Structure 1
Amino acid sequence: VNDYFRGREDDLAALRKNTRMLAPRDIAQVVLQILEAPSHVEIGDVILRSTDQTV
């Protein structure tokens, strides 16, 4: 938990309204894919974000 939206709760509400947030199930599916990867595959970095999120 961070304080990024402290004092800016309206901004957070707008973000949640306009963006599909990642769900715990989304994260779990990626973790399973990593764990099931072949032994010769090295996964060094994983970055997850909603396709609705701009970089």
Structure 2
Amino acid sequence: MPLLATLAVRVAVTSSKWATRYRTRLALKDLDAHLLRDIGVTQETASIEANKRFWRA
């Protein structure tokens, strides 16, 4: 695959991952204590994860 095509694919994949992280972290902020218990996450853990920047794994 040409270098430019490879670079374009990598940019697209990275952008997609970042967008997914951003959306899921926004959704995590909106979950109440009951739903967090259902998924086995504490409020503190959810807060830490939700406040991470989208580029941080």
Q: Report if TM-score (shorter chain) is over 0.5.
A: no
Q: TM-score, normalised on structure 1?
A: 0.29
| Higher RCO (CA 8 Å, separation ≥ 6 residues) | 1
